């Protein structure tokens, strides 16, 4: 069973439909007991980092997420805001502490080139940096759909499995042990996005840390 975390930050139904399409058994929930029974966990999200952290804390989901990821080593997929929340902190609307599961900060795009609009919206190619079970069948040059004004700056390059260029190279996907996350939206990325979600669905119930 795959649990999609409902922390009131949008686009849950589109992720649910996409995962079901590739054969996943899905429950959308913010019930701690349900999350503890999950085989895999997805944290999607659209919106501001501080609101996301506030909602996770108010719903009592921070501790259960950390336990399932770090102690039980359950496969975890973060999407867009769900990836950013893994970082130590963000500077969106001031400094805000994140889940701290990835050694990274989240910062706003800033360009001298005025032709580069913020937010970064649309289809962009990624560059695959290393092999990952989550990226099996995905290669450099494949394009995915992005919508974001902030991006992750990783302090540990080993965590970065794919990048994208928008003015400069930024982190497009990360993996650390059983944690995988994408800045892009696989549920909106047609064939390649569904391929990625299918790989997540087919993983064993645990990923060795």
CB within 8 Å of 171: residues ≥ 6 apart: 104, 151, 152, 153, 154, 160, 162, 163, 183
User: DSSP alpha helices (H): ranges in 59-181?
Assistant: 62-66, 81-84
- By annotation, the residues acting in catalysis are 80, 185, 187
| pLDDT at residue 4, rounded to an integer | 98
Write out pLDDT tens, residues 159-198. Answer: 999 999 999 999 999 999 999 999 999 999 999 999 999 9
Tens digit of each residue's pLDDT (9 = 90 or more) over 50-94: 999 999 999 999 999 999 999 999 999 999 999 999 999 999 999
Confidence at residue 97, expressed as pLDDT on a 0 to 100 scale: 98
pLDDT at position 113 is 85
CATH 1.10.540.10 describes domain 2-202:
no
- Beta-strand relationship, 76-79 and 96-97: unpaired
pLDDT band with cut points at 50, 70 and 90 for residue 117? very high
Domain boundaries defined on the chain: 2-202
- Region 120-145: mean pLDDT is 95
Kindly indicate the confidence band of residue 209, based on its pLDDT and cuts at 50, 70 and 90: very low
- The token pair at 198 is 């299918």
Q: Which long-range contacts (CB under 8 A, 24 or more apart) does 154-161 make?
A: 154/102, 154/103, 154/104, 155/103, 155/104, 155/105, 156/102, 156/103, 156/104, 159/102, 159/103, 159/104, 160/129, 161/128, 161/129, 161/130, 161/132, 161/134, 161/135
Model confidence band, residue 28 (pLDDT cutoffs 50, 70, 90):
very high
pTM value is 0.95
> Is there a contact between 173 and 197 (Cβ–Cβ < 8 Å)?
no
Residue pair 151/109 in contact (Cβ under 8 Å)? The answer is yes
pLDDT band (50, 70, 90) for residue 207? low
Question: For the sheet containing 26-29, what is the strand order?
Answer: 26-29, 2-5, 40-43, 76-79, 179-182, 169-176, 160-165, 120-128, 143-148
- pLDDT score recorded for residue 203: 84
pLDDT exceeding 90 applies to what percent of the chain?
Answer: 92
Rounded distance between C-alpha atoms, residue 91 and residue 93, angstroms: 6
Residue 206 has pLDDT above 70, yes or no: no
pLDDT > 70: what percent of the chain?
98
Q: What is the mean pLDDT of the chain?
A: 95
């Amino acid at each position: 069973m795959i649990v999609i975390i409902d922390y009131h930050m949008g686009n849950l139904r589109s992720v649910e439909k996409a995962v079901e399409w590739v054969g996943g058994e899905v429950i959308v929930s913010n019930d701690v007991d349900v999350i503890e029974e999950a085989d895999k966990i997805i944290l999607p999200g659209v919106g501001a980092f501080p609101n996301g952290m506030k909602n996770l804390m108010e719903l009592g989901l921070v501790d259960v997420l950390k336990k399932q990821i770090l102690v039980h080593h359950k496969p975890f997929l973060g999407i867009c805001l769900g990836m950013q929340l893994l970082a130590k902190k963000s500077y969106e609307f001031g400094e805000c502490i994140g889940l701290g599961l990835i050694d990274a900060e989240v910062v706003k795009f800033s360009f001298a080139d005025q032709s580069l609009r913020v937010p970064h919206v649309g289809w962009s190619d990624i560059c695959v940096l290393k092999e990952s079970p989550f990226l099996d069948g995905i290669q450099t040059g494949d394009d995915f759909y992005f919508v974001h004004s902030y991006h992750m700056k990783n302090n540990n390059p080993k965590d970065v499995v794919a990048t994208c260029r928008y003015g400069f190279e930024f982190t497009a996907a990360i993996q650390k042990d059983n944690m995988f996350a994408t800045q892009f939206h696989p549920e909106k990325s047609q064939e390649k996005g569904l391929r990625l979600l299918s790989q997540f669905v087919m993983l064993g119930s645990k990923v060795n840390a």
